[in-house]
Structure 1
Amino acid sequence: MIINNSLDEVKKRENALSIIKNKVESEGRSSLFDLTGLSGGFIASSSELSLLETYVGPAMFEEELQSVGREHMGGEKVIPLNRTSSGILAAVLTLVSKDSNVVHYLAKLPAHPSIPRSCKLVGANYFETDVFEEFSIPENTSLVVITGSTMDHKVIDEDEFKKVIEMAHEKGIPVMVDDASGARLRTVVFNQAKACDLGADIAITSTDKLMPGPRGGLMAGREDLIDNIKVKVNQFGLEAQPPAVLAMLNGIKNFKPDNLLNSFERKDELFNLLNARFNNFEKTPTGVMISPENLAKEISVENNLSDDDLAFVFSFILLNDYGIITIPPVSMPGASATIRFDLSTTDAFKLDLNDLNKKIESSFEKLQDVATNEEKCREIVFNS
């Protein structure tokens, strides 16, 4: 095993960021191709930047963020946060009591780790399922959670979405929707309604996923719940700082649904190219992906690596050799090791898909060459 614990995941991320820094310094930003779908951005004018003071910034930008945020997310009020995980934690701290139940329905397991971790922190009992027929709400449930689009972009069925909300509200239980990428993916590509319009009490999105905003979270929903959650946010320092608030505001204003729709069309071309060599790539709404389990099926040499280890090594080869950034090298502990090539990013539109296919094939051949040498693989992932 190469990646054994959360510390290992932190160390591999540090190495990935070092590789990215070195490439930018030696070859320029154009040498990198961020295909994570999480590339985000920071759009700001010089006059706006001059207002990013501790108290002036919120005074100038938070009111307009309320307006554009409600339009983007629905709901009665929004609150900007430093991470989506921060908003989830604040909501759980506010709404969930010790020994109560939290039940979670999503299209495919597992949930984002911030949800069970937050429940554990308050001493709640947590249950999750991706089988609709098995979903139920037991007595003493304080919160129902729905994931709109999973970490690997599996999108929930809208009828099931609405039914879970109805089941919760029949028992007077609030519903929180983790709509990190779903706030755009579900609505633009799958023509689903906004979570709050479907009846969710609160919903949260990541402002860097499939949009040109910063790493941050934006929560929307019922005004009374948002106000109570905001108390916890401020008590624990989970609020977004002025630069992030400005970047969220401009990120939403500059979000272009056509980029998602164009990537929806291009994914078929890339998938067909990869299919000439591989058997286990899958389509996502905005690109293609290969899970650790399916990557292992492609390997024709004996090795002692775990499926996740193979995915980490493969993704580091892509980064080292071709400047292709995928999620596994740069992800936080607990994130999925699935490798996604998201075609909705600005960098993706600069890539010729035939050339991208060749780079993926070449990286895979190198993976096969090194997979039998665990120490070499460790060196690739940790630079050790």
Structure 2
Amino acid sequence: MLIESSLDEVKRRESALKIIRSKVGSNGREAIYDLTGHAGGFPLLKEDMVLLETYAGPAVFGDEIQRLGREHLGGDKILALNRTSSGILAAVLALVHDGDEIVHYLPRSPAHPSIPRSAELVGATYLEFEDINDFELGEKTALVFITGSTMDHQVVDEANFRKVVDIAAQWKVPVFVDDASGARIRTAVYKQPRAMDMGADLAVTSTDKLMDGPRGGLMAGKADILDLVKSKALQFGLEAQPPLVAGMVRALENFSPERIVEAFHKKVEVYNALKEDVPSIMETPTGFMLKPEGFKAEVNAACVETCLSDEDLAFVFAMLLLDRHSIITIPAVGMPGASATVRIDLASKDASRIENPELIHAFKETLTELKAIACDEEVCRAVVHPHQATQKQD
């Protein structure tokens, strides 16, 4: 296998960042296409710069993040965090104790790794359900999670969402919605209500996913429970610092769901063109994706024997797509534990700069190259870890 540990994932990410740095250094930011849907940004105003201080920043931007955050997510109060994962950890630290149980309902496993990892950190049992008929709570359940949209953009059914909330209410257990991208996909594309409007006690979203804000977490909640989470966040330094908060404020001011809706319609042409030659390709709400098992199916269909795992094939493809065509996807740059699915998100800001025929050609050509090298583990290793191959030659 090419990727066997979190350390391998870190090294793969470092290799991808070196490729990006080289391309941007040679030809500027326009040389790359970030189609992850996570590009984010810092849409700050000139007058914001003098306020990015430890105390002046929170004082000036605090009221605005509360107002705009409540408009976006609902709830009584808002908490800005340095990452969505930070909010998940803060909530678990505040509400769950050693020996308790965390129960998670999501449209499709696996969950974002921050949830089971946080459970393990406090000594709690973690249970995951993707079939609503199997979902159940117990005497030790201290917190219920719902994922609004998975890492691969599988969106929760609204009726099942409401059923989980009702069950949790019967047990008097708080509900926390991991709505990282779901806060926008669910509402803009599927016209679902905001999580807080459907009875959640807490909800968190990523301010860089399908919106042009910095990588950070924005949490909404009922006042009493959010205060508990905020206390833990401040104790452990999980809160967003002034530059992040300012960036979130400006991103929320600029946010418009129209780009997401446009991507929902645009993806049809690209998906249909790819489906003819890549049967394993799948639609997402705002684009298309090829899962690890899909790569293996495509390689097998070409009668190519490979010892690589499904995930390895996805990592090789993502690195080739970046190196050859300057297209960034999560399996190339994602953090350890991120999905290995190659997902092209046409709601990404850079999607407007790449024409559909160019994108289709890049995807097909990269898949052809993957099939040509999948039988050679060392060649594939050099694609994922090019710096290691250089060191061996030296």
Same fold (TM over 0.5): yes
What is the Cα deviation at residue 62 of structure 1? 1.5
Match of 2:368 in 1: 365
- 2:383 corresponds, among 357, 370, 380, to 380
- How far did 1:285 drift? 0.2
Structure 1 moving runs of 4+ over 3 Å: none
The secondary structure found in structure 1 opposite 2:349 is coil
For 2:195, the aligned partner's letter is: A
| Cα deviation 1:127-182 (Å, max 9, x = unaligned) | 00101100011112101110000000000000110110010011111000000000
Structure 2: 5+ residue stretches without partners: 389-394
What is residue 146 of structure 1 aligned with on the other side?
Answer: 146
| Inter-partner Cα distance in structure 1 for 2:93 and 2:381 | 39
- In the alignment, is the contact (CA less than 8 A) between 1:292 and 1:307 conserved in 2? yes
Matches within 5 A, 1:101-250: 101-250=101-250
8 Å CA contact 1:213–1:251 kept in 2: the answer is yes
Match of 1:89 in 2: 89
Q: Output the TM-score relative to the length of structure 2.
A: 0.97
**SS of corresponding position for 1:289:** strand
Residues 54-75 of structure 1: per-residue CA shift (max 9 Å, x gap): 1111111111100000010000
Provide the C-alpha distance between the structure 1 equivalents of 2:355 and 2:30, rounded to a whole number of angstroms.
14
Rounded to whole Å, the distance in 2 between the matches of 1:129 and 1:295 is: 26
**Residue 353 (1) aligns with residue 356 (2):** yes
- In structure 2, the residue corresponding to 1:341 is in which secondary structure? strand
Shift of 1:22: 0.6
Counterpart code for 1:173 = V
- What code does the residue aligned with 1:207 have? T
Amino acid of the residue matched to residue 194 of structure 2?
K
Paired amino acid for 2:96:
V
Task: State the secondary structure of the residue aligned to 1:218.
Answer: strand
Match of 1:303 in 2: 306
Tell me the SS of whatever aligns to 2:344: strand
Q: Deviations over 1:1-48 (max 9, x none)?
A: 000000000010111111111100112111111110101111011111
Secondary structure of 2:51 counterpart: coil
Structure 2 partner of 1:328? 331
Taking structure 1 as the reference length, the TM-score comes to 0.99
Q: Please report the RMSD computed on the Cα atoms of aligned residues, expressed in angstroms.
A: 0.7
Please give the per-residue CA displacement for 1:50-97, whole angstroms capped at 9, x wherever unaligned. Answer: 211111111111111000000100000010000100000000000011
Structure 1 gaps of 5+ residues are: none
Q: Which residue of 2 aligns with 1:281?
A: 281
Percent of residue pairs identical = 53
Q: Distance in 2 between matches of 1:117 and 1:239?
A: 19
1:312 aligns with 2:315: yes
Aligned 8 A contact 1:102 1:127 in 2? yes
1:210-265 per-residue CA deviation (whole Å, 9 max, x = no partner) reads 00001110110101111111111011010101110011111111112010000000
Matched pairs, number: 384
CA-CA distance at 1:349 after TM superposition: 1.4
Does the 8 Å contact 1:273/1:354 carry over to 2?
no
Quote the Cα distance in structure 2 between the aligned partners of 1:169 and 1:104. 15
Name the stretch that deviates more: 316-325 or 247-256. 247-256
Deviates more, 1:318-327 or 1:248-257: 248-257
What amino acid maps onto 1:351 in structure 2?
A: I
For 1:14 and 1:194, locate their aligned partners in 2 and report how far apart those are by CA, in whole Å. Answer: 36
